[in-house]
Amino acid sequence: MQVVVDGKVRDIKTVWMSNDVVWLIEQNLLPYEVQFFQAGTVEDVARAIETMVVRGAPAIGATAAYGIALAALKGEPLDEAAKRLKATRPTAYDLFYAIDLMLKEIGKGTPPVKAADDYAARISDMCRRIGENGDEVIRNGDSILTHCNAGALATVDHGTALAPMREAHRNGKRIFVYVDETRPRLQGAKLTAWELSNEGIDYAIIVDNAAGRLMQSGEIDLVIVGADRIAANGDVANKIGTYEKALIARDNSVPFYVAAPTSTIDFSLQDGRSIPIEERSESEVLHISGRRIAPKGAKARNPAFDVTSADLITGIITERGIHKPYELRDLRG
Ligand code: MRU
């Protein structure tokens, strides 16, 4: 992705490794400033995932892959590093997929940094292909709704839900993106809006409750969102609020697409009921920009993800094509 750093346009990834240090874009500071977080230990990497320096399923996976590489370089026990990293966030399947793959590759004798670099490059390439495949569902003149941030920042590059939009824009299609602000952490308003601004794609931020109104008035042609974990039957866990968007899309006959690399599919789960859902701190709901908005003593609940059942999903866009949810099982390999 192209980012302006210190007045210069730089082509960077969300995560990479250089001189035995894992580099990350500090996403908590966006869109106000572009700064980089350097992780020199497994614990630094784990804390970066926990504190949302890096977030988004494929980006978390690639970051954890580099965490395993760091442990191997330092001669630390890999099973302990894997356990620490797997305990950071429970929902994004890429985290578990990446760590298990790294352990397998290192076990086969692949040099650890090469294994992590290969993993990150593969994810980046999958997302590029998601863009090419997903471009076909976007027509010239379409208005597209997206939720949370499933862009380059949530992957290694290109994004998942944003990849088809980038591709359509580059291919000269005129598109408009409605960006759900995505309370409580505002990944839409802060991160997706930042990425779309950088790409010169026209957009408007809407509050999380506005999409129903815009669909009823015919102003949204399709929805594309990302995924944190997809069960074998095509049920999809994604950022809280996704399920409601799928319901209103169905009620208004608006196509609802999910875009994700196959590294997000957990074939061990029959359906979405057993996807672990992260519950985050109530202070994220009770405060905005560090200021408390609710009366003293108010309680809050803060589930970070919800599950959209396969029957509400028009298609799942992966690096291998566009699939009906029930066709996912065929991709197991
Ligand atoms: O809590 P986050 O910011 O990690 O949640 C991110 C999402 O829900 C994304 O939509 C999902 O990870 C897909 S990212 C390509």
Whether residue 276 contacts residue 237, with contact meaning beta carbons closer than 8 Å, is answered with no
> Which atom number of ligand 1 is nearest to the Cα of residue 239?
8
Across the chain, what does the average pLDDT equal?
97
First and final C-alpha spacing in the chain:
30
For ligand 1, the distance from its centroid to the CA atom of residue 225, given in whole angstroms, is: 9
Q: Catalogue the long-range contacts made by 298-305 (C-beta closer than 8 Å, 24 or more residues apart).
A: 302/184, 303/240, 303/277, 303/278, 303/279, 304/91, 304/239, 304/240, 304/277, 304/278, 304/279, 304/280, 305/91, 305/228, 305/237, 305/238, 305/239, 305/240, 305/242, 305/275, 305/277, 305/278
Q: Would the CB of 238 count as within 6 Å of ligand 1?
A: yes
Average pLDDT over residues 85-107: 98
List the chain domain ranges: 2-126, 137-331
Query: Could you tell me if residue 106 is left (phi over 0), alpha (psi between -120 and 50 degrees) or otherwise beta?
Result: alpha
What would you measure as the largest C-alpha separation in the chain, in angstroms?
60
| Nearest protein Cα to ligand 1, atom 8 | 239
Q: State the catalytic residues.
A: 228
Span 2-126: which CATH code? Answer: 1.20.120.420
**Predicted pLDDT of residue 69:** 98
Retrieve residue 63's tokens: 């970051």
d(C-alpha 43, C-alpha 54), whole Å:
14
Q: Would the CB of 89 count as within 6 Å of ligand 1?
A: no
For ligand 1, the distance from its centroid to the CA atom of residue 6, given in whole angstroms, is: 28
Q: Read off the pLDDT of residues 246-270 as tens digits, 9 standing for 90 and up.
A: 999 999 999 999 999 999 999 999 9
**Predicted pLDDT of residue 162:** 98
In total, the chain counts a number of residues equal to 333
| Confidence category of residue 6, pLDDT binned at 50, 70, 90 | confident
Q: Would the CB of 226 count as within 6 Å of ligand 1?
A: yes
| Nearest protein Cα to ligand 1, atom 15 | 150
Helix segments in the chain, DSSP class H: 42-50, 57-73, 78-86, 93-107, 112-134, 162-170, 187, 193-199, 211-216, 242-251, 283-286
**Predicted pLDDT of residue 25:** 98
Q: Read off the pLDDT of residues 265-297 as tens digits, 9 standing for 90 and up.
A: 999 999 999 999 999 999 999 999 899 999 999
**Residue 291 corresponds to which amino acid?**
R
CATH 3.40.50.10470 fits 137-331, yes or no: yes
Whether residue 166 contacts residue 159, with contact meaning beta carbons closer than 8 Å, is answered with yes
Q: Read off the pLDDT of residues 153-198 as tens digits, 9 standing for 90 and up.
A: 999 999 999 999 999 999 999 999 999 999 999 999 999 999 999 9
Measured from the Cβ of residue 250, the count of other Cβ atoms closer than 10 Å reads 15
Whether residue 217 contacts residue 206, with contact meaning beta carbons closer than 8 Å, is answered with no
d(C-alpha 6, C-alpha 1), whole Å:
16
**Predicted pLDDT of residue 333:** 75
| Nearest protein Cα to ligand 1, atom 6 | 56
> Which atom number of ligand 1 is nearest to the Cα of residue 305?
8
Domains 2-126 and 137-331 agree in fold: no
For ligand 1, the distance from its centroid to the CA atom of residue 149, given in whole angstroms, is: 6
> Which atom number of ligand 1 is nearest to the Cα of residue 60?
4
Please, how many CA atoms are within 13 Å of residue 145, restricted to the half-sphere of its CB?
Answer: 31
d(C-alpha 259, C-alpha 159), whole Å:
9
For ligand 1, the distance from its centroid to the CA atom of residue 22, given in whole angstroms, is: 21
